[in-house]
Amino acid sequence: MVAVLAVGVLFVAGCTGEPGRPAVGATGPGWVGGLRTPSPVPVDINPSAPPVGDTVPTGVVVDGRELVLYVWHSVQVPWLGAAALDRGTGGLTDWLIGTGRSFNGTGEPGHFGEVRREEVPDGTVIYMGMFRGTVDRIVLAEPDGGSAEAAFTAWSAGDYTIFWARCRAAPIPENTPVGEGRTEPLDPVKYPLVSAFDKSGAALDEVRLRPAATKPRVV
């Protein structure tokens, strides 16, 4: 499960999506971003925390399992969940396919909430997240100058936009050790930037996907 208020990730040269989809932008063939209107599917993997509003099949498939996003908890405090839909059997399980990291936005109106970045075994990464409000574009900018656009759809039960993307990407750089139990992240330009834009092209919000510094835990 992923909770609403977070963001993180880093790309390699090109960004690709599901095979067979047309290319957009300058990031290579495969991925199509922009507005989507997916048909919801039933998600009942956790009866104590059922989806709030429509579920969002993303078309992102890893080893025959499709990523299905949904919101749970409440309209007032929405948390983002992820399920895996087996394309062969139709069965649903929790999305436990990749290893991920989340980074927090403010979650205030006009700002990002959670964005989660997962590395999956085939060498791609998957982004999933929420933006509070409506958008015209969500752009994922690479440190090397490349970029891609996320796919997105409006949440049916509230004022959030749910978005996702799949790209080939390098892991986020590890922090640099700077002393006993302490680490520091690299320069901000070494990390991707996620930005939201309105129809006029004006920037609404942006989040640099940069880990925090760490220090020894005091007990």
Pick from 80, 85, 106, 46: which is nearest to 164 by CA? 80
Tokens linked to 213: 């510094």
Pick from 32, 6, 17, 2: which is nearest to 124 by CA? 17
Indicate if the pLDDT at residue 191 is higher than 70.
yes
- Alpha-carbon distance of 86 to 61, in angstroms, equals 9
Tokens linked to 8: 């993180």
Q: Please, which residues have CB within 8 angstroms of residue 144's CB and are 6 or more apart in sequence?
A: 11, 13
Minimum mean pLDDT among 167-171, 180-184, 204-208: which range?
167-171
Would you say 65 and 97 are in contact if contact means Cβ atoms under 8 Å apart?
yes
Tokens linked to 44: 């009942």
Indicate if the pLDDT at residue 65 is higher than 70.
yes
Q: What is the DSSP string of 13-73?
A: S----STTPPP-TTS-SS---EE--PPP----S-TTS--SS--EEEEEEETTEEEEEEEEE
**Residue 41 or residue 4, greater confidence:** 41
CB atoms under 10 Å from CB of 144, counted, come to: 12
Tokens linked to 56: 């969002």
What's the mean pLDDT when you consider all of the chain? 82
pLDDT in tens, 17-54: 333 332 233 233 456 789 999 999 999 998 999 999 99
User: What's the predicted TM-score (pTM) here?
Assistant: 0.83
Indicate if the pLDDT at residue 55 is higher than 50.
yes
pLDDT in tens, 84-121: 999 999 999 999 887 777 777 888 989 999 888 888 88
pLDDT in tens, 110-150: 999 988 888 888 878 888 999 999 999 999 887 777 678 99
Classify residue 125 by burial, with Cβ atoms within 10 Å: 0-12, 13-18, 19+.
Answer: buried
